[in-house]
């Protein structure tokens, strides 16, 4: 166990940040899943900007890597464009 006050504080901070990051990541994954499940192009186009914005926020906060964010956005854009 940690012996210094600063180390104890760091443990508390890390736990809070980890939970927050996991919540944001899980919420984004759910949004992506709903977008992929959309069969109607109009619904998908409505959801698309929100999902892209969410992915960008995760990349900006270093929750996911920026290249992963770019890959996901590209893949989702191709998926939305192929819907009829």
Within a domain: residue 6? no
The pTM for the full model equals: 0.86
pLDDT digits (tens, 9 = 90+) for 27-81: 999 999 999 999 999 999 999 999 999 999 999 999 999 999 999 999 999 999 9
Residue 20's SS3 state is helix
Within a domain: residue 32? yes
Within a domain: residue 15? no
Within a domain: residue 51? yes
- Residues of the domain holding 45: 24-82
Domain count, the chain: 1
Within a domain: residue 60? yes
DSSP state of 1: -
Distances (CA, A) of 22 to 16, 34, 43, 75, 83: 10, 18, 27, 22, 31
Within a domain: residue 42? yes
Note the pLDDT of residue 80.
96
Note the pLDDT of residue 25.
97
Rounded-to-integer distance, Cα 40 and Cα 54, Å: 21
Q: What is the 3-state secondary structure (H, E, C) of 40-56?
A: CHHHHHHHHHHHHHHHH
């Amino acid at each position: 166990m940690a012996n210094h006050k600063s180390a104890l504080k760091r443990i508390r901070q890390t736990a809070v940040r980890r939970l927050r990051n996991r919540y944001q990541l899980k919420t984004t994954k759910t949004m992506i899943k709903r977008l992929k499940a959309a069969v109607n192009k109009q619904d998908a186009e409505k959801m698309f900007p929100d999902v892209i914005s969410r992915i960008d926020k995760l990349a900006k906060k270093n929750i996911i890597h920026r290249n992963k964010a770019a890959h996901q956005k590209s893949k989702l854009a191709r998926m939305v464009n192929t819907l009829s």
